Amino acid sequence: MSDTGTRIRRGDTIRVTAGKDKGKEGKVIRAFPPDDSAKKKKPSRLLVEGINIIVKHKRAQPQANISPAAQKAQSGRIEMEAPLYTSKVALVCPQCGKATRIGVLTDESGERYRACKVCGKSVD
Ligand SMILES: [Zn+2]
């Protein structure tokens, strides 16, 4: 396992540190790995519950034979989470509750684990 890319995983709670949702916290639904295959390297992204909500408008097909009100009823708004870059989030430590960076440490048996940079405890 390499050290590059995100250390934040699905199920982690994160706090947004930049952008329109700055300060909000949410649970990671899905972690996308960085895309190194493309020429332009894409950083890793996260899908986070309730964060970076985008609204998609679904427009009803215009029909001549129905009223404007009926047409309006057929259109809708779909709200969904959009992925955000891991550079814009910080992990919320489950031990001390602070937004923190993650360090990777090795225990006595050689097992690597993620640790909170604030309290030093394991966040796995
Ligand atoms: Zn901590």
Which pLDDT does position 71 carry in this prediction? Answer: 67
Helix, strand, coil share of the chain (percent; to 5): 10, 40, 50
Asked if residue 22 is part of any domain, the answer here is no
Q: Give which of 97, 88, 94 is closest to 22, Cα–Cα.
A: 88
Domain count, the chain: 1
pTM of the full predicted structure? 0.76
Asked if residue 103 is part of any domain, the answer here is yes
Which residue(s) pair with 58 in the sheet?
A: 76
d(CA 100, ligand 1 centre) in Å: 7
d(CA 62, ligand 1 centre) in Å: 55
Q: Which residues of the chain have pLDDT under 70?
A: 1-6, 38, 60-61, 71-74
Asked if residue 28 is part of any domain, the answer here is no
Identify the domain containing residue 113 by its residue range: 95-124
Asked if residue 117 is part of any domain, the answer here is yes
Asked if residue 60 is part of any domain, the answer here is no
Asked if residue 109 is part of any domain, the answer here is yes
d(CA 44, ligand 1 centre) in Å: 23
Euclidean distance between CA atoms 106 and 76, whole angstroms: 51
Asked if residue 112 is part of any domain, the answer here is yes
Which pLDDT does position 80 carry in this prediction? Answer: 93
